[in-house]
């Protein structure tokens, strides 16, 4: 049985999965609010030792021995994929509708055709109807959306728009310098970020929608700034080089196992025949 060949092939698949993730991180290095993904590559034997007491196999039995022998042919594999939610650098834009969140695990709520989604990308604008929307055209929701509905709208007469540290939006009364509170951004803090799932367009879906409640005083909103991606491009390039080298090593191991070792075995058998 070509055990070594299958081990190398499985190891190469693991590195291919890691390579896809690194490439996606690099592709989004300039995407506002993007959060870096990473993987945990675990050794199967270590994982087996940690969980073997929970396996439905008694120790010191033939079935357990067969299972143990099979696990010895396994290789390191991706055991967990996670997102690093640390805050990225803030970039000043001086755009009144650009807002950034300065704390981890806080999100804006937006409405998409697929339902309510979360985002960290605060590069907002207005559509033809005067509604506050994301770059993709999704409506940005106010904090009273689930009780009163509606959206955040501007009529075009505003000369000044102010957004305070808690997301309260105020606009000037026409022909005056007096500011009038109009709406408030829905700032949401999930109880467990592990329940967040990326769904494209820099959006997340949250499994427990019943938990949607606005954070009254986040103190984390900065007007005139956007949060940049938290991807470290230098580190990603280093990991990319490392992963490519590992793929090459596995490929060499597969070639050695299939060609050189088999050829050597055939020649030795031929001499004995």
pLDDT band at 164 (very low <50, low <70, confident <90, very high): very high
Is the pLDDT at 241 greater than 60? The verdict is yes
Higher-confidence residue of 227 and 13: namely 227
Task: Report the predicted TM-score, pTM, of the whole model to 2 decimal places.
Answer: 0.77
Q: What is the DSSP string of 157-211?
A: --S-EEE-TT-EEEEEPTTSS-EEEEEEB-EE--S-GGGEEEEETTEEEES-GGG
CA torsion sign for 249, 254, 255, 261 is positive
- Going from the C-alpha of 218 to that of each of 19, 140, 157, 164, 167, the distances in angstroms are 37, 17, 29, 10, 8
Separation of alpha carbons 133 and 144, rounded Å: 17
The pLDDT confidence band at residue 248, using thresholds 50, 70 and 90, is: confident
Tens of pLDDT along 188-232? 999 888 889 999 889 999 988 888 999 999 999 999 999 999 999
Tokens of residue 223, six digits: 């007007």
> What is the sign of the dihedral through the CA atoms of 208, 213, 217 and 221?
positive
Residue 264 has pLDDT above 80, yes or no: no
167: left (phi over 0), alpha (psi -120 to 50) or beta: left
Judge whether 196 and 206 are in contact, CB under 8 Å. Answer: yes
Share of the chain above pLDDT 90, in %: 52
Distance CA 38, CA 176 (A): 51
Extract the tokens encoding 58: 């008694």
pLDDT in tens, 106-117: 999 999 999 999
DSSP class of residue 211 equals G
The domain limits of the chain are 3-85+248-272, 90-227
Locate 201 and state its tokens: 């367009």
> What value does the mean pLDDT of the chain take?
84
């Amino acid at each position: 049985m070509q055990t070594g060949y299958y081990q190398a092939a499985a190891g190469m698949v693991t590195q291919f999965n890691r390579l896809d993730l690194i490439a996606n991180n690099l592709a989004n290095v300039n995407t506002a609010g993007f959060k870096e993904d990473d993987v945990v590559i675990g050794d199967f034997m270590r994982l087996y030792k940690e969980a073997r007491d929970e396996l439905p196999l008694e120790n010191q039995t033939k079935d357990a021995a067969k299972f143990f022998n099979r696990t010895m042919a396994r290789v390191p594999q991706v055991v967990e994929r996670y997102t690093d939610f640390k805050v990225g650098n803030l970039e000043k834009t001086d755009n009144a509708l650009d807002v950034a969140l300065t704390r981890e695990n806080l999100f804006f709520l937006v409405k998409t055709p697929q339902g309510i989604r979360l985002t960290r990308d605060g590069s907002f604008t207005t559509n033809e109807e005067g509604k506050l929307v994301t770059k993709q055209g999704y409506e940005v929701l106010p904090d009273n959306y689930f009780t009163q509905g509606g959206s955040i709208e501007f009529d075009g007469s505003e000369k000044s728009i102010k957004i305070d540290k808690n997301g309260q939006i105020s606009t000037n009364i026409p022909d005056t310098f007096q500011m009038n509170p109009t709406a408030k951004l829905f700032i949401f803090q999930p109880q467990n970020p592990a329940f967040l799932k990326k769904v494209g367009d820099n959006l997340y879906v949250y499994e427990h929608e019943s938990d949607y409640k606005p954070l009254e005083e986040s103190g984390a909103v900065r007007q005139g700034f956007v949060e940049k991606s938290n991807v470290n491009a230098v580190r990603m390039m280093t990991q990319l080089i490392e992963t490519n080298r590992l793929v090459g090593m596995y490929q060499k191991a597969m070639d050695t196992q299939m060609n050189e070792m088999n050829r050597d075995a055939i020649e030795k058998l031929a001499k004995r025949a």
